[in-house]
Amino acid sequence: METSITTYQKNVATFIHLSVLTQFIFPLGNFIAPLLLWAALKKESIYIDNHGRRALNFQMSTTLYAITLVLIAIPFAIWHLVNASEELNLFNQSYESFVVPADAVGLIMTALIFGILLLALCVITLFCVISAAVSASNGEEYKYPLTINFLKPLSLSEKESPLDSSTKA
């Protein structure tokens, strides 16, 4: 079994990782672009297949983390908003004299804390995607940190099985 990785395979794996950045061009681009590339080219090599799986796993994981952060932030924000509006009767005031009350500080802090956490998640994602693309272009495997394996990367024993069964048929 030959284990050399061609330049073509390295380039495809690199583009799969970099295609995640299409999320900045259109919604869900971080799933659609790598999924299309991976689905079309995964049968060409185990190297491409594994990099596609890892890229998609990382995107699904970070999306799950972002949704979790938002779902945790919503009750805090609602609680702070209700408290501030009840105590100061904000909904009956004129907009001309509206001043941020002291009780709204909790709402502002909640937005700031969860906003910073989401921004940190975006920065980590950007850093990891670039690191994965560099590793792929160097012919190395890259394991994203804090990733849930929804699509399990293939192991060495599994790598040989599909190729052997497809050649026998």
Helix (H, G, I), strand (E, B) or coil at 161: helix
Any domain includes 152: no
Q: What's the CA gap between 38 and 129, in Å, rounded?
A: 15
Amino acid present at 59: Q
Any domain includes 24: yes
pLDDT at 169: 38
Amino acid present at 104: A
Any domain includes 19: yes
Q: 46 near 11, Cβ under 8 Å?
A: no
Any domain includes 134: yes
pLDDT at 103: 64
Quote the tokens at residue 10. 């390295």
Q: End-to-end CA distance of the chain, in Å? A: 19
Q: What's the CA gap between 62 and 90, in Å, rounded?
A: 37
Burial of 5 (0-12, 13-18, 19+ CB in 10 A): middle
Question: Tens-of-pLDDT digits for all 169 residues of the chain?
Answer: 346 899 999 999 999 999 999 999 999 999 999 999 999 999 999 999 999 999 999 999 999 999 999 999 999 888 887 777 666 665 555 555 555 666 677 888 889 999 999 999 999 999 999 999 999 999 999 999 999 999 998 874 555 444 444 444 3
Any domain includes 122: yes
pLDDT at 80: 80
Residue numbers of the domain that contains 19: 7-147
pLDDT at 82: 78
pLDDT at 20: 95
Any domain includes 126: yes
Any domain includes 1: no
Any domain includes 140: yes
Q: 122 near 132, Cβ under 8 Å?
A: no
Q: Which residues of 41-61 are buried (b: 16+ CB within 10 A; e: fewer)?
A: bbeebbbbbbbbbbbbbbbbb
Name the DSSP class of 102: G
| Overall domain count for the chain | 1
